[in-house]
Structure 1
Amino acid sequence: MADQGAPGLRAGRYQLFGRIAAGGMATVHFGLLRGDQGFSRVVAIKRMLPQLSGDPVFVTMFRDEAMVASRIKHPNVVPVLDVVAERAEAWLVMEYIRGVALSTLLQRTVERGERVPVPVAVAVVSGILSGLHAAHAARGPDGPSLGIVHRDVSPQNVLVDADGVARVVDFGIAKASSKLHITTEGELKGKVNYMAPEQFGGGQVDRRTDLFAVANVFWSMLAGRMLYGSEDPSQTVNNILRARPPSLRAQREDVSLELEKVIERGLAKQPDVRYPTAREFIEAIEAVISMPGTARSVGAWVERLAGDVLAKHDREVEGVERGEPASSTLAVEKTDGAVPLSADGTTTMSELPTQEIPSSLSLAPPEPGAQKGRGPRALVLFVAAGGAALLLLLVYASVTALRSAKSPAEVPSSGPTATEQAPAAAPPPIVATAEPSAVAVEVTPSSSSSAAAPASASAQAEQSVSASARPRAPSRGDNPSAVPGFIPARP
């Protein structure tokens, strides 16, 4: 059962203990650094799945994450301390943070019928922006800017600790000029609900892409529901590309008109209209908020909503320090993918599972002469439970249709998100057969036809992987880049 938690496994100066969370490429564990003279320190260890450690693409992506994160030094970014590569093991060692994912805090807020206090939301978002500004400004060893863009800013990738500090985590799919693995044209990376329009339309992705995602998170925190999320994945894409955000003040009266305008600028469809930098976004918020939340008030909010999670982690840490973990594995709860609607027909954040493109899904046409089933480099997408396959095809159809439009107009909202229907474009025909755990779909963006071949995957498949066939088909049920303190609340 080593793969479930691998307690006691050692590599270099580090020992692995109970698993905190699991995803498609890695698991995250409590760990212990053992030094000389009896020195020890609790850390968090992100462990690449052993079955992926022999794949050069995944290994390169893992190294890229370490390289990018190591260049960012800021209190609002979870620090990367070390990288271990030993035998078939690849570990990313991070500082252990006694905190909880923002997504869990938001879910629990909604479940209790509460609202995130405006000062608390302001403090959390300001922390996110401060961390991102440090990332955007990070430089390489020789001095030039690395041009880092996170590309996956979302509540799942923000950790809020018990001291009230928000930290950005997971630079696994970040864009940087010095990365060894380069995203190819047509690849989508990130969580669909928080993507910026240019990530779908082939536009330039830069720091302003991250600022759109932050504004999206900010709106969702204050409104108590996702801004663009929909039961229909293709509608989510259409909302992002074409819909005007509904009035935030209509959701809650204690949001000032000035703050609403600040958020709306961050949500502009055109990057040139948004704030040029994260620092300028912070300054705009500070100009309209006289009393932002303090670290103490944010910490109290975390303790009140997720004190049980923190207590569970505390018990585990005590066991790790004794060399006897309280449990070999900390359970990671999953959703079944169902999306119930509220009485008013809207979808709350606690009800809607995040739609993810966890690794990379290619929308680019295959090379001429590409044959299905031609081997490891065939254009085959392994996706869990069939839903992700449908998502990919619907996203492709939406993007294709919207690219054909001369200019996607923003239209006012008459509901949670109102959109102008994109020009008609039928998705490529698809034929897919699969076991309940996985399905393989070959995508051929052609006007004539597109075939799909069934493929087998491990029963423990957890998340979709790259367009090139990979050793394991992970699912979106778990967070692919789970971080210390992330135990999702049951919706």
Structure 2
Amino acid sequence: MASERGRYDKLAEIASGGMATVYLARAHGLGGFERLVAVKEMHPHLAKEPEFVAMFLDEARLAAQIRHPNVVATLDVTENEEGSLSLVMEYVEGPSLQQILRRAVRQHDRVPIDLGLRLFLDALSGLEAAHELTDESGTPLHIVHRDVSPQNILVSTDGIAKLTDFGVARADSRLSSTRTGTVKGKVPYMAPEQIRSKSLDRRTDVYAAGAVLWEMLACRRLVQGDSEVAMMYQITEGVAVSPREVIPEVPEGVARACLKALEKNPDQRYPSAAEFAEALEASARAEGVVVANHRAVAAYVRAINVHRAPSALAPEGRRSVISGLSSVTGSGSGPASKEAPLSPPATPARTALTSTRDADVEASKKRSFRGVFISVGAVAVAALALFVWIRYGKPPTDANGPNERPAAQGAPVETQAPPATTAAVPPPAASATASAATSANAAPAEVVQPAVAKPAAPPSTATTSRTAKPPVKGGYRPREL
């Protein structure tokens, strides 16, 4: 991708909206200095619109003046070769509050009250810093964010929530002016006076913050409708119900503070984000709720794992570059930087561990396959040896007993003992094969041994089945009786 004046290399796209696209980029400096930044680049077709250019410059000028750990820092403004403006900001590694809330809804769960209050109090702190901003002479700028929403509250892996996106912010000294009748912001979080195009002040942001808190407590959006007109009517004419009617476990004092921020009349709301934060802390303390610290929030963010790491955003060929940078720059500045040891191991360490485990698994698979092949080969060799032994092996010498000879081919089966006068006479001629087998296997003593005269008896079943055993080699099975 093209670089911004040679100082910022865009590595991957993070998000895109109607006015600009946000990229993950690498900043270059002297002496090999590098760090990850977020580059918000205006869409090329808007670069020719003077109103959008002025609005973009307003955001850069206003955000750059807010220096607070709970506000995303603005570092630079550049222009690329095509004439599109880019806003260089601090890169916050971590999910948005919207991602956290969506994950809770999918899991049929809710954000723990102590962690949720910590995130929300951080956002109120950043909002108060924007409201209190003054110029060099000390004159208040009367900044109104006008787009406080879960999408614009980022939660870093260090456990710090940061407010971002002052693109539609209003200030007395802004360069551009809003057109008459134009409504800017997200409808579900707009205050009634914002919808009616009346004068706005910091209490408008207090209402939007109350809508965010209500959504976090009740695990659903406060204003819902099929169209923007329906949602606007609900805001201006409806009455906000207590989050306890949706989630009874919500502390009563916290619910009361939330409802006061959602009053339709601005005079009945908290006059500032700081007073809203103080009321919440006092209510939580009275209900026995201890607000979590940044370490607990950081552990929760890593546990739910709903954001994409910088190395996962970049293409395959540039992940090693991002991995090296992320281990140096971290995810942001502020008090939680001392809690860096709690962050997950760097991507290269995880990759090495994964590679080692993959190698072990592959070696185990190879050993298993080798054992299977050896077993199959052994069985095949044994089967072949058995076949060869049965087909070509010699028959046992005592198959028909010591005094019996195998029957000739085609001859009737006889088991009667021969008379004594024929003891020396050889048996009737048989086939060449049978005679050869008889002469080779029978001992000389068997021929001259006199037989004991016994009365003739019919052949028994046992003798018949034993004598009728087919020749082992070169013959066929004789016809059974």
Shorter-chain TM-score range = 0.5 to 0.7
Distance 1:232 1:61, change over 3 A: closer
Which residue in 2 is equivalent to 1:289?
284
Which residue in 2 is equivalent to 1:160?
155
Q: Cα distance, 1:235 vs. partner?
A: 2.2
Q: Cα distance, 1:76 vs. partner?
A: 0.6
Report if aligned partners of 1:198, 1:205 keep a CA contact under 8 Å in 2: yes
Paired amino acid for 2:174: K
Tell me how far apart the structure 1 counterparts of residues 182 and 189 of structure 2 sit (CA, whole Å): 16
Tell me how far apart the structure 1 counterparts of residues 322 and 292 of structure 2 sit (CA, whole Å): 38
Which residue in 2 is equivalent to 1:231?
226
Tell me how far apart the structure 2 counterparts of residues 237 and 256 of structure 1 sit (CA, whole Å): 29
CA RMSD of aligned residues (A): 2.2
Which residue in 2 is equivalent to 1:99?
94
Which residue in 2 is equivalent to 1:48?
42
Mapping for residues 395-410 of structure 1, pairs under 5 Å: none
Q: Cα distance, 1:173 vs. partner?
A: 0.3
Q: Deviations over 1:417-473 (max 9, x none)?
A: xxxxxxxxxxxxxxxxxxxxxxxxxxxxxxxxxxxxxxxxxxxxxxxxxxxxxxxxx
Q: Cα distance, 1:86 vs. partner?
A: 4.2
Paired amino acid for 1:284: A
Q: Deviations over 1:112-158 (max 9, x none)?
A: 11011111111111011100000000112332111100001111111
Which residue in 1 is equivalent to 2:302?
303
Tell me how far apart the structure 1 counterparts of residues 84 and 70 of structure 2 sit (CA, whole Å): 29
Distance 1:82 1:320, change over 3 A: farther
Report if aligned partners of 1:73, 1:79 keep a CA contact under 8 Å in 2: yes
Mapping for residues 186-265 of structure 1, pairs under 5 Å: 186-265=181-260
Return 5+ residue gaps in structure 1 as ranges: 1-6, 327-491
Paired amino acid for 1:116: V
Q: Cα distance, 1:232 vs. partner?
A: 3.7
Which residue in 2 is equivalent to 1:334?
none
Tell me how far apart the structure 1 counterparts of residues 244 and 87 of structure 2 sit (CA, whole Å): 43
Which residue in 1 is equivalent to 2:59?
65
Q: Deviations over 1:385-410 (max 9, x none)?
A: xxxxxxxxxxxxxxxxxxxxxxxxxx
Number of aligned residue pairs: give it.
320
TM-score (norm 1): 0.62
Which residue in 2 is equivalent to 1:268?
263
Mapping for residues 66-215 of structure 1, pairs under 5 Å: 66-87=60-81, 88-215=83-210
Q: Cα distance, 1:58 vs. partner?
A: 1.4
Tell me how far apart the structure 2 counterparts of residues 303 and 324 of structure 1 sit (CA, whole Å): 17
- Structure 1 runs (4+) deviating above 6 angstroms are 314-318, 323-326
Tell me how far apart the structure 1 counterparts of residues 268 and 4 of structure 2 sit (CA, whole Å): 50
Tell me how far apart the structure 1 counterparts of residues 114 and 207 of structure 2 sit (CA, whole Å): 20
Q: Cα distance, 1:166 vs. partner?
A: 0.8
Report if aligned partners of 1:42, 1:321 keep a CA contact under 8 Å in 2: no
Mapping for residues 318-329 of structure 1, pairs under 5 Å: 319=318, 322=321
Mapping for residues 422-433 of structure 1, pairs under 5 Å: none
Tell me how far apart the structure 1 counterparts of residues 155 and 140 of structure 2 sit (CA, whole Å): 28
Paired amino acid for 2:5: A
Q: Cα distance, 1:10 vs. partner?
A: 3.4
Paired amino acid for 1:52: L
Paired amino acid for 1:40: E
Q: Cα distance, 1:234 vs. partner?
A: 2.4
Distance 1:320 1:96, change over 3 A: farther
SS in 2 for 1:18: strand
Report if aligned partners of 2:141, 2:173 keep a CA contact under 8 Å in 1: yes
Report if aligned partners of 1:25, 1:49 keep a CA contact under 8 Å in 2: yes
Structure whose residues are more often strand by fraction: 1
SS in 1 for 2:217: helix
Report if aligned partners of 1:9, 1:17 keep a CA contact under 8 Å in 2: no
Structure whose residues are more often helix by fraction: 2
Tell me how far apart the structure 2 counterparts of residues 165 and 308 of structure 1 sit (CA, whole Å): 15
TM-score (norm 2): 0.63
Q: Cα distance, 1:80 vs. partner?
A: 0.2
Which residue in 1 is equivalent to 2:395?
none
Tell me how far apart the structure 1 counterparts of residues 151 and 224 of structure 2 sit (CA, whole Å): 15
2:23 equivalent to 1:24:
no
Comparing 307-316 with 148-157, which one deviates more in the overlay?
307-316
Give percent identity, aligned residues only: 41
Q: Which has the larger radius of gyration?
A: 2
Q: Cα distance, 1:314 vs. partner?
A: 7.4
Tell me how far apart the structure 2 counterparts of residues 324 and 300 of structure 1 sit (CA, whole Å): 21
SS in 2 for 1:59: helix
Tell me how far apart the structure 1 counterparts of residues 316 and 21 of structure 2 sit (CA, whole Å): 17
SS in 2 for 1:177: coil
Q: Cα distance, 1:301 vs. partner?
A: 2.1
2:8 equivalent to 1:14:
yes
Q: Cα distance, 1:54 vs. partner?
A: 2.3
Return 5+ residue gaps in structure 2 as ranges: 326-481
Tell me how far apart the structure 1 counterparts of residues 317 and 72 of structure 2 sit (CA, whole Å): 21
Q: Cα distance, 1:25 vs. partner?
A: 1.5
Q: Deviations over 1:190-210 (max 9, x none)?
A: 000100000112322110000
Which residue in 2 is equivalent to 1:404?
none
Paired amino acid for 1:149: V
Paired amino acid for 2:302: E
Report if aligned partners of 2:4, 2:78 keep a CA contact under 8 Å in 1: no
Distance 1:13 1:323, change over 3 A: same
Q: Cα distance, 1:323 vs. partner?
A: 7.7
Higher relative contact order (CA 8 A, sep 6+): 1
